[in-house]
Amino acid sequence: MLPLDSDPIVAIATAPGRGGIGVVRISCGRVGETAALALMGALCGQALTPRHASYVPFVDAGGNVLDRGIALYFPAPHSYTGEYVVELQGHGGPVVLQLVLQRCLEAGQAFGLRLAEPGEFTRRAFLNDKLDLAQAEAVADLIEASTEAAARSAGRSLDGAFSRDIHALVDEVITLRMLVEATLDFPEEEIDFLEAADARGKLAHIRTRLDHILGEARQGALLREGLSVVLAGQPNVGKSSLLNALAGAELAIVTPIAGTTRDKVTQTIQIEGIPLHVIDTAGLRETEDEVERIGIARTWSEIERADVVLHLLDARSGVTDEDVVIDERFPSGIPVVRVLNKTDLTEVGASVNRQAVGGGETEVCEIRLSAKKSLGIDLLRAELLRIAGWQAGTESVYLARERHLIALRAAQDHVSLATDHAQERAQSLDLFAEELRLAQEALNSITGEFTSDDLLGVIFSRFCIGK
Ligand code: GDP
Ligand code: ZN
C-alpha cells in the first residue's frame, strides 16, 4: 500500500543508467509553494518564472556547481500532479543525478521531503483529477508497451478515448435511471412508463454500445497481455527450429516480458502487433534420466499455464503412440494445434486442416510446415491470430486491462438482467432500476469514480519510480 499522505516527494524520473538528459522531479504536496520556493532557492539560487525554461546551475550547500541544466517550475494546479512541481533537467549520469537528488532531500529535509514511491506522481495526478483511473493505467501501459500497436493504443487511452466512451455510456445509463426512478415515485404510472419513455429502446442502445466497447477492449487487452504459446513434443521434432522460424519471420523481436528474461527459452515475438510469448520446452518422452525428468515436469506445468499449445510432430512418422499419450495428457480447455514439421522431407506440401472431434464439440487444427525451410509458417501465424480472436484490420482499439474487461462484463450482465425485468409482463421497475444502478457502478469503476484504496494501491505500486 502506498502512503495516502501528501508529503513533498522527489525522484529521478528518467531511466537508470547513462543518458543525454536526466530529470529530477519534485512534487511539493501539502507544503506547496513554500517548499517549491525553498528548493528553487537552494538548488538554483533563484525563484524561477513559472512555466519558463531557465538555464541555471544546480548547486550544493557550499555553493559548488553540481551540474547545469534546465529548471522548470509549475505552480499548482497546472502541473502533472496538480501540485507545485519543480523539475530539474540535468545531464543523465547516474552519479550526478544522485548528487542532485541528495541535494534536494537535504534542502527539503526541514519540510519532510522524501523519496517518491513507485507510481506516486501519477497517483497524485489521479487524486487531483488530472487523469482518471483508466488514463493513469494507460501511463504505465504506454511505458511498458512491448509492441508498436500496444504503444499506439495506450496513447489513445491516455488521450482519453476509452474514458470518453465509458462516460458517454454512463450518461446514457444515468438518463434512463432518472426516468425510472422518477416513475417509481408514481406507481400508478408504472405500466405506461416503459412505453412512453421508450425505455426498452434506450436499453437496447446501451447494450449495443456496451458490446462494441467490450469488443474493442478485448482486442486492446490482447495487445497488452499477448498470448503465451508453448512448443511441446518429442525430442528432435523441431521445436527450437520452429521458435527460430517464428522469430525470424518478424523483423522486430520485442523485449521480453518482465520475469521471463532469466528464462533463456522464452522469446517474445509479435504477429500483427500482438505479443506472443513463445516458450520452447524440453522434449517429452519416457526417461530414466533424473535431470531430464525435471525438465519434462516443468514442460507440463508450462503447458498448463499456456494460452495455446503447439504439439509438434515429425511429418514423416505422423502421430506415434508416444504422441497419443502426450495428446491425452493435454489439459482440456487449452487450444492445441498439431504441427507436422519437416514436410520438406515428405511428398506433401504445407497445408492447414481442421477436423471436428468429439461429436463436433472441439476442433483439431493440423498444420503441415517446415521450420527449417520456413514453409507454411504464415499458416501457423494466421492460426495463432485466429485462436487469439484477433480481428484483422482493427486499428483504433484502446489498451485495456483484465480489470476493465471484468467490469465491462459485469455491466453487460446487469444490463441484460435489466432487459429481462423490462420484458416481464409484471414489469418490476425497482429491480430494473437496481440493475441499472449496478451497471453504472461497474462502469464507474473503470474510470475510478468510487474506487477502493486497496485497488489504487495495487494499480499504482506496479508503476516505475519517478512516474
Ligand atoms: P527439438 O529437439 O524439437 O527442439 O528439435 P530441433 O529444432 O533441435 O531440431 C532437431 C533436428 O531437426 C535439427 O537437426 C534440425 O535441423 C532438424 N529440423 C528441424 N526442423 C526441420 C525441418 O523443417 N526440416 C528438416 N529437414 N529438418 C528440420
Ligand atoms: Zn530444442
- List pLDDT tens digits, range 63-94: 999 999 999 999 999 999 999 999 999 999 99
Query: Of 324, 362, 341, which Cα lies nearest the Cα of 231?
Result: 341
- From the CB of 238, is ligand 1 less than 6 Å away? yes
Q: What stretches of 185-286 show up as alpha helix (H) in DSSP?
A: 190-196, 199-225, 239-248
The C-alpha angle with vertex 235 and arms to 230 and 237, in degrees rounded to 5, equals 75
- The CATH number assigned to the domain with range 9-132 reads 3.30.1360.120
Decide if domain 226-388 falls under CATH 3.30.499.10: no
Contact 37, 71 (CB under 8 A): no
Which residues in the chain come in under a pLDDT of 50?
Answer: 1-3, 250-264
CATH of domain 140-221+401-448: 1.20.120.430
How do strand 308-314 and strand 274-280 relate by DSSP bridges?
Answer: unpaired
Say yes or no: CB of residue 283 within 6 Å of ligand 1: yes
Binding residues: 25, 87, 130, 236-241, 255-261, 280-283, 467
> 386 - beta bridge partners?
none
Cα of 242 vs centre of ligand 1, distance in Å, is 8
In the reported structure, the alpha carbon of residue 238 is separated from the centroid of ligand 1 by a whole-number distance in angstroms of 4
For ligand 2, the distance from its centroid to the CA atom of residue 314, given in whole angstroms, is: 13
Is 376 near ligand 1, meaning CB less than 6 Å away?
no
Ligand nearest to the backbone CA of 284: 1
Q: What is the pLDDT of residues 390-426, one digit of tens each?
A: 876 666 688 888 899 999 999 999 999 998 887 765 5
d(CA 256, CA 265): 11
Nearest CA to ligand 1 atom 16: 372
In the chain, where the domains are located = 9-132, 140-221+401-448, 226-388
Helix axis angle, 148-158 relative to 133-144, nearest 10°? Answer: 160
Query: Which residues neighbour ligand 2 (ion) by CB within 5 Å?
Result: 239-240
Task: For residue 353, report the distance from its CA to the centre of ligand 2, in Å.
Answer: 25
Query: How high is the ipTM of this complex?
Result: 0.98
Residues near 258 by Cβ (< 8 Å), separated by ≥ 6? none
| Whole-number pLDDT of residue 2 | 41
Supply 30's cell numbers.
501539502
